[in-house]
Every structure is written in structure tokens, then in C-alpha cells.
Amino acid sequence: GGRYSIWLEDIAKLFGQQDYSTQRPLHYGGSIADENILKNKEYLNFIKYLSFSDIWMNNFNHKHIRVILSYFWKLRSFPAYAQQLEMESLGKPASASSKYKNTGQVIFGGYGPKAEHSYLQLLHQGTQEICADIIACDKDKNDLEYIKAITQTRLLSKGAEDLEEKEKINGNVPVNLFIVKEGGLERIGQKNIVESLGYFIATWEHRTFITATMLGINPFDQFGVNAGKKYTLARQFIKDSS
């Protein structure tokens, strides 16, 4: 899922940079998450909880689809990154030795406010079995994006009362709510926001890797992708030769 094309834990050393946090804040944030998963038991348990929750939903709770909605403009493209990371890493045949026969979930999503007329209707009243990840930022709790994130989390998970029969929504949708604490990062400005992004991306990658480990599959091969390339090249070669 691009893990090693984005960064390495000691990439700054490769570039001879002395002040890692100042020169490469994205990588620095990722390295903090890397250190946490090695040394911080609370962080590791959090990742294990997320990973096993994904496996449980997919194998025992019939939740084969997960939507990722970002209600934070600066992370509006993150769901597309997470889709590529998870579906390429976890979209593999089940391990013969594993009791889990469903591997990666179908992932889709995008910027939350734009989803209102794209797929929120299906999420609230449709018949598909889904679960959700919602991302928000706590910088301003009066901000409309934040209010929408909290509202949608509650509506998906708890439903709503006092609605007419035709207006009733599903509720009981399993939701993870991630709060990005940008408000606490103002002391040195934009750099720490980027640092936080690095930490967040690396955390999602750890979630994906631990899930793969539990499933007994290799998250780094991509033979399905290679097949399309291989046979496209073969077809082009035959065409050029004829």
C-alpha cells in the first residue's frame, strides 16, 4: 500500500538531515507512530482493537462494506488513500490455515459534506450492510464540518426518533469516530499539522498491517494488479507484432 514509497522510519538520515522534525514533519509524525507500535502497549492495543473489529465485522457481522467519510477539509483526500491502502493490501485470497474466510472489506468514501447527495441516502435508508469510519477535527467545535461529523455519527449509530414511517432511518450502523486534534497544534503552525497527518497515515497503515497479520495474508504482494499489467502488455505486444 505504498508504505515504503512514502517513507522509512529513518528516511531523514538517508538525506543527511539533522533536524528530522523540522525538515520532514510528515515523516517525523509517521516515525512517532512507528515507535509507538513498537514500544507503547496502549497504542498497540488500540490498533489491535481496530483491526479485530474490522475482521469481526467482515466475517461474523455481515459488514463487508465500510465507508470512510472525512469532515475535515484538509483530509478530504484521505479516504481515497485509505481505499488504495486497504483494498490493495487486504484484497487477497484467504489463508488456508485461517478461520477467517473474508479478507479485505470493500472501501469507499470521500469528503463528508459532498456525500450528502451521493450516498448518505443509501447509508441511512438503504438495505446494504455497512459500517463506517468518520474523521473530524476538533479545532472549532462550532464549525459546520465538525457538527455534521458528530451528527452523522449519531444518526448512523443510534438512528433518530420522532420521524414518520417513510422518514425512518436504519441506525445501528457500527461507526468509528476519529478526532484529529488540530487545535492543540497551533504552537508552531503548519508544520505540526503536517506532523499530525503523518502520524494519522502511519496509524492507518499499522491498522492494515495488523489486520493482514491476523488474517495470515501478505499485505505487500499485489498479483491481482500485476495480472492486469501482464496481460495488457502481452496483448499490446501481439498487436505490435501483427
CB 218 within 8 A of CB 208: no
Exposure string for 133-164, b = 16+ CB within 10 A, e = fewer: bbbbbebeeebebbebbeebbebbeeeeeeee
Q: List the catalytic residue out of 88, 182, 195, 205.
A: 88
What gap in Å lies between CA 178 and CA 82, rounded to an integer?
A: 14
Q: List the catalytic residue out of 168, 181, 229, 230.
A: 229
Cβ neighbours around 31 below 10 Å, total: 23
CB 80 within 8 A of CB 110: yes
CB 128 within 8 A of CB 65: yes
Q: List the catalytic residue out of 117, 165, 166, 239.
A: 117
Alpha carbon separation from 68 to 13, 89, 115, 174, 242 (Å, rounded): 34, 17, 11, 12, 47
Q: Is 129 a catalytic residue?
A: no
End-to-end CA distance of the chain: 37
Q: Is 27 a catalytic residue?
A: no
In 3D space, the residue among 58, 56, 36, 57 whose CA is nearest the CA of residue 47 turns out to be: 36
Q: Is 62 a catalytic residue?
A: no
In 3D space, the residue among 8, 5, 50 whose CA is nearest the CA of residue 204 turns out to be: 50
Residues identified as active-site = 88, 117, 229
